[in-house]
A and B are shown apart, each in its own frame.
With several copies, the nearest count.
Chain A
Amino acid sequence: MDRDRALALLHDMLLGRKFEERCAREYMNGNIAGFLHLYPGEEAVAVGVIHACEASDYIVSTYREHVHALVRGVPAGEVMAELFGKRTGCSRGMGGSMHLFDPERRFMGGYAIVGETYPVAIGLAYGIAMRNLPEAVICFFGDGAVNQGTFHESLNMAALWKLPVLFVCENNQYAIGTEVHRHSAVPEVYKRAAAYRIPTERVDGMDVLAVHKATEHALRQIRAGTGPWLLECLTYRFRGHSMADPGHYRPPVEVKAHQRIDPLELALRELSPIYPTPEQIAAAGPDAILKLRQYCSDQGHLPDEDFRQLEAQVDAEVEAAVRFALESPEPSLEDAWQALLANRRGETLL
């Protein structure tokens, strides 16, 4: 992967991380309310997958979707404004954290009922197939969502009609407080794809380059008309399920071990020609991020000052997003009615 692309990934991962951590702060400040599901730890999935897509592809995501929207190009200000419930938000303040939409960028939402992304995704894919277009649909879902009936129903239809969908499982190993082996008889999600004759791959979801490559591969085949694919990305969320959840059910050592293989560090690492071994990662300990950044800078691929500059740039972006959100007006009740009745416009029948 060339340096530009790699740095673009790095930028988006940093943005994802810093944006989310800022959200946590703004939630504490009372500027964001409701359920707030943050993404730290999982950035490599959204960044790796979405960077491998075309602008004409559709993205369907869950309630943990801020970073997906950002990577897709939804302006950070519009995302933050939505979380603040403002009129300038990408969903006009009607949707909030769990329901980000941006039709122009084919970012098709933000669904808060576990398992809803599958049918929506196959519907978009049905339209693509019916019209014979070279587009595809990316459908995100968690490991817990695999047990919802719609998974089964929708994957069957996708395979039966060879619909262009890439199903991406963000397997962070927990559904709220329930570990994957306590909710799934077959905890390896990729193994479930065989029940629908869907080709599949399991990748290290902490390794953005692996995710990116696997996505490119899958999308090539999807566009060739062979039907859906399923990608299982093994990842981990550093925080609790949502801001309401301290995450006490996970042993501290488990969280720490995963932080060691922080995707951000893996991205930095890739910029160097020497790829650290699992032993090195394991030895890196909780301060792996620091160590790896140092290591990369040693190799001359990302001098310290460049990294600091990138960080500063991202900080500024996040700051600007917050400012935009803060200064934006609230929607009126009239706006809400407009949002409800928008599709009645032009109808002369009533």
Chain B
Amino acid sequence: MAEKIRYWQALNRALDELLAADENVFILGEDVGLYGGSYRVTEGLYAKYGEWRVRDTPISEDSFTGLGVGAALMGLRPVVEIMTINFALLALDAIINLAAKVPFMAGGRLPMGLTIRTPGGVARQLAAQHSQRLEHTLMNVPGLRIVVPSTPQDAYWQLKQAVLSDEPVVVLEHELLYFHEGPLDPAAPPPPPHRAIVRRRGRDLTLVAYSKMALLAQEAAERLGEQGIEAEVVDLRSLSPIDWNTCAASVARTHRLLVVEEDCRFAGAGAEIAAGLTERCFTRLEAAPMRLAGLDIPTPYNGTLEARTIPQVDDIVAAARKLVKEGS
């Protein structure tokens, strides 16, 4: 039975259940314990499971992420919270050079049940150092999986799948999604963690998006529908691997592709999505795939400008209208 729940609560519930079910699971990160987490995701868990299972760390991102790697090598299932993805820049050696490579370098003889939870994206006027989207950086790392839930249900499912997996998984959350509400049915069987979902059917073009942009794309699609343009919306849910089949099947039907991403356009996640789908659907495309993305500029503090550096619903609508006119 589905109940209404916020995104952060869905994550909190998943963590609670994981901690209760398996004593190999533990959480660590800055202010995840006593304080309850910057976005409340770990609220209440410290009191319930104690400091060894829910560990407040010093501000030492590289080493506490690396600590997670070490613990995973002995079969534990650490859940590392990096407060925001901006600080993950400090921990990339642990993520890329350790988590993603050690099992391989050991000839496949070591587990890596590490989960890294971190919110990315542009929030509200946090300025350039606090507004990064690093999906492209993580995508290029073989051995790493990346999920990008856009709903409470997916957040719940995908976090659980991540923690139970023996591969390293980054759960990319979004600062502006934590207080979004949606239905959660904890008993419903989850789809595979990398499976893309068609959120809306349409015949005129395919919108491929993920995380917060998947919600904006659905909003835009509704508006387009009112204008007689039927957009199909694919929510990727996973950035590595990408569920090419679901995407390609949609593009093969609509013949037009608009990728919507919050990442900077140049060498962003959308580049791979567009290039990969062009390779798969070239002969079915009636117009060049279009990318609607963040501007290639550091995020300005000023709120008006900030909003202009990333796609808004209006922008998606306009881009879609332009695309359906092209090549026909």
A contacts B directly (C-beta below 8 A): yes
- Smallest Cβ distance from A239 to chain B, in angstroms? 16
Do residues A349 and B66 form an inter-chain contact, with CB atoms below 8 A? no
Measuring CB to CB, which residues of chain A are less than 8 angstroms from any residue of chain B? 33-35, 58, 60, 82, 85-86, 89-99, 101, 103, 108-116, 118-127, 129-130, 144-145, 147-150, 153-154, 156-157, 160-161, 175-178, 182-184, 249, 330-333, 336-344, 346-347, 349-350
Indicate whether A116 sits within 8 Å of B107 (C-beta atoms), given known contacts A34-B125, A153-B58: no
Can you give 17 A-B contacts (C-beta < 8 A)? A33-B303, A92-B108, A93-B305, A94-B106, A109-B106, A114-B87, A120-B70, A123-B72, A147-B60, A148-B90, A153-B64, A175-B31, A176-B30, A183-B56, A331-B300, A333-B308, A343-B103
* Proximity string of chain B (18-59) to chain A, C-beta cutoff 8 Å, 1 when within and 0 when not: 000000001000110011001000000000000011011111
Is B289 at the interface (CB under 8 A from chain A)? no
The interface residues of chain B lying within 8 Å CB-to-CB of A90 are 107
Q: Which residue of B lies closest to A124 (CB)?
A: B70
Is B183 at the interface (CB under 8 A from chain A)? no
Do residues B93 and A116 form an inter-chain contact, with CB atoms below 8 A? yes
Measuring CB to CB, which residues of chain B are less than 8 angstroms from any residue of chain A? 26, 30-31, 34-35, 38, 52-53, 55-60, 62-74, 76, 78, 86-87, 89-90, 93-94, 97-98, 102-113, 124-130, 142-143, 161, 165-167, 190, 192-194, 297-298, 300-305, 308-309
Do residues B58 and A342 form an inter-chain contact, with CB atoms below 8 A? no
19 additional contacts, CB 8 Å, given A116-B98, A147-B58, A342-B103?
A33-B124, A34-B301, A35-B130, A85-B301, A94-B128, A96-B301, A122-B63, A127-B76, A148-B60, A148-B90, A150-B62, A156-B60, A175-B31, A175-B59, A336-B305, A339-B103, A340-B297, A343-B165, A349-B193
Q: Once the chains are docked, how many angstroms separate the CA of A110 from the CA of B101? A: 12
Task: Pick the contact of B59: A98, A115, A118 (CB < 8 A).
Answer: A115
The interface residues of chain A lying within 8 Å CB-to-CB of B104 are 94, 336, 339-340
- Smallest Cβ distance from A230 to chain B, in angstroms? 16
Q: Once the chains are docked, how many angstroms separate the CA of A343 from the CA of B169? A: 12
Do residues A94 and B302 form an inter-chain contact, with CB atoms below 8 A? yes
Do residues A92 and B107 form an inter-chain contact, with CB atoms below 8 A? yes
- Smallest Cβ distance from B219 to chain A, in angstroms? 23
Do residues B58 and A175 form an inter-chain contact, with CB atoms below 8 A? yes
Main secondary structure of the interface of A (DSSP, over half): mixed
Q: Once the chains are docked, how many angstroms separate the CA of A58 from the CA of B93? A: 22
Do residues A176 and B31 form an inter-chain contact, with CB atoms below 8 A? yes
Q: Once the chains are docked, how many angstroms separate the CA of A35 from the CA of B126? A: 6
Q: Once the chains are docked, how many angstroms separate the CA of A209 from the CA of B68? A: 35
Do residues B300 and A108 form an inter-chain contact, with CB atoms below 8 A? no
Task: Pick the contact of A126: B60, B71, B90, B93 (CB < 8 A).
Answer: B71
- Smallest Cβ distance from B53 to chain A, in angstroms? 8
The interface residues of chain B lying within 8 Å CB-to-CB of A344 are 166-167
